[in-house]
Amino acid sequence: MSALRNFISSASTILPEVPKPPKKPSLTERFIWTAIALVIYLVMAQVPLYGVAVGGQDQLAFTRIIFASSQGTLMELGIGPIVTAGLILQLLKGADIFRVDFKKPEDRALFTSATKLLTFIVIIVEASAYIAGGAFGRNLTSTTIIILLAQLLFAGVVVMLLDELVQKGWGIGSGISLFIMAGVAQRIVWDMFSILPTGAGYFGAIPHAINATLAGVPHEAWFRHGALPSISTLFITILVILAIIYIEGVRIEIPITSTRYRGFSGVYPIKLLYVSNIPVILTSALMANITFFSQILWSNLNPNNDNPILNTIVTFNQTNPGAGPTGGLLYYMSIPTSLDVALSEPIRTVTSILILIGFAVLFSKIWVEIGGLSPKAAAKSLLDANVQVPGFRRAGVSVEHILEKYIPTLTIIGGILIGLIAGASQVLGVFGSGIGILLMVGIIINYYQLLMREQLETMMPRLAGLLGKR
């Protein structure tokens, strides 16, 4: 372990790094830096990769929302390498394989360096897998492969530094969250306003509704086949957003008092969605990676769907593999993306949603343990913050016993709810996809809460400091 620490420490000296601001920037300055990071990301998402044909089938469409990526551009990998590296290290830390103590500055720096180093490795691995899987076409020359790898490595490093820029205090929140939110918002705007012509009018719901109304067939704007955006899905999207906002606000509040400041009291909130969107992100990433690597195996070992053994695992459409699995076990794990398909294949619909819910509950329980959210860890955090629950002894066992009444149950209920909302929204064809809406709403709420705290710090620094010590 010491050898690994020494290696990471040595490697950190050559890794690119964004320095911390010498003093905390004003809120306006942080808005400007956040906007700069977002603009750079959006520009990179439009710059095509050199040596790649534009406009081909998107074989990796299922990963785009989760990883904020864009086909055939510098953002082909998106934030995937950063998220993957971070999750791997969090799991290693949770399993006590990679031992660090976040209370120690040197261990925090070590973890950050390890994440960056692993991100470099993941970029190379994912880029190589994309090329081997045919995401950029077949029969590429050695020169083209080297150029593609160089572009993807450069873009991955830039995204990593942009995220670091935002998180180190130059910006607001997290660069990863910012890019995911921007990607989902783009998808929603596209679904609403796109004037791309289709065989049944315009792609966007609103242009199509206007065109249908002018043509004297307004009823055609409400329901459309083929998973095309419609006015009905627009209303469903709005209802889903309102439902998520309401559920995000449901919480159990445990009264607490400060042992340091006499007379100061408050509440310790335990949200219904206790682990937030983490379970659905982990589940989606797992499903995406399973489908991605199965697609690589299929394209190399069973491109004609003529191997009966491999066909039981997965089959793809030979002319459009990017549409997702068409058969095998993985087919029943993929959620239909339209109500028409869902009604015509009820067994697949129910099975895929139940699998999603099952994984969401599983990852909820895992994340509570490794993410420092267990009753024991939460009780320790409260005691370390010099607070206690009125009427109970200020002891870890007492506080832990109180939290054990709520946290395990809310963990399971939250996992079920988050999986059900994501699955049902996907089937109903909401704009930006069900998972995308969940992520976007959660990120927006987090940003709102963050901005409220920032405003409190600006207007009442003494009160903000007191709350920070609570």
Whether pLDDT at 185 is above 60: yes
Same fold, 26-188 and 236-470: yes
Q: Which is more confidently placed, 226 or 147?
A: 147
Bridge partner residues of 256 (DSSP): 266
Whether pLDDT at 381 is above 80: no
Q: Give the pLDDT confidence score for residue 40 in this predicted structure.
A: 93
Whether pLDDT at 387 is above 80: no
Whether pLDDT at 421 is above 50: yes
- Which CATH number describes the domain made up of 236-470? 1.10.3370.10
Q: Give the pLDDT confidence score for residue 457 in this predicted structure.
A: 64
pLDDT digits (tens, 9 = 90+) for 336-375: 877 888 888 889 899 999 998 998 898 888 878 776 788 8
pLDDT digits (tens, 9 = 90+) for 241-291: 898 888 888 888 888 776 666 666 777 788 888 887 778 777 877 777 787
Q: Give the pLDDT confidence score for residue 151 in this predicted structure.
A: 92
Q: Which is more confidently placed, 134 or 291?
A: 291
Lowest average pLDDT, out of 78-87, 98-107, 290-299, goes to 98-107
Give CA–CA dist 33/162, Å, rounded: 10
Q: Give the pLDDT confidence score for residue 351 in this predicted structure.
A: 92
Residue 464's pLDDT band (cuts 50, 70, 90): very low
Q: Give the pLDDT confidence score for residue 469 in this predicted structure.
A: 42
Provide the whole-model pTM.
Answer: 0.76
Q: Where are the domains of the chain?
A: 26-188, 195-228, 236-470
Q: Which is more confidently placed, 456 or 219?
A: 219
Q: What percent of the chain has pLDDT over 90?
A: 7
Residue 70's pLDDT band (cuts 50, 70, 90): confident
Whether pLDDT at 467 is above 50: no
Residue 39's pLDDT band (cuts 50, 70, 90): very high
Whether 358 contacts 424, CB under 8 Å: no
3-state secondary structure the chain: CHHHHHHHHHHHCCCCCCCCCCCCCCHHHHHHHHHHHHHHHHHHCCCECCCCCCCCCCCCHHHHHHHCCCCCECCCCCCHHHHHHHHHHHHHHHCCCCCCCCCCHHHHHHHHHHHHHHHHHHHHHHHHHHHHCCCCCCCCCHHHHHHHHHHHHHHHHHHHHHHHHHHHHHCCCCHHHHHHHHHHHHHHHHHHHCCCEECCEECCHHHHHHHHHHCCCHHHHCCCCCCCCCHHHHHHHHHHHHHHHHHHHCEEEEEEEECCCCCCEEEEEEECCCCCCHHHHHHHHHHHHHHHHHHHHHHHHCCCCCCHHHHCCCEECCCCHHHCEEECHHHHHCCCCCHHHHHHCHHHHHHHHHHHHHHHHHHHHHHHHHCCCCHHHHHHHHHHCCEECCCCCCCHHHHHHHHHCCHHHHHHHHHHHHHHHHHHHHHHCCCCCHHHHHHHHHHHHHHHHHHHHHHHHHHCHHHHHHHHHC
Residue 71: φ, ψ to 5°: -60, 135
pLDDT digits (tens, 9 = 90+) for 397-407: 777 888 888 88
Mean pLDDT of 409-419: 90
Pick the CATH number of 26-188 from 1.10.3370.10, 3.40.640.10, 3.40.50.1000, 1.50.10.20: 1.10.3370.10
Give CA–CA dist 167/175, Å, rounded: 7
Give CA–CA dist 42/29, Å, rounded: 20
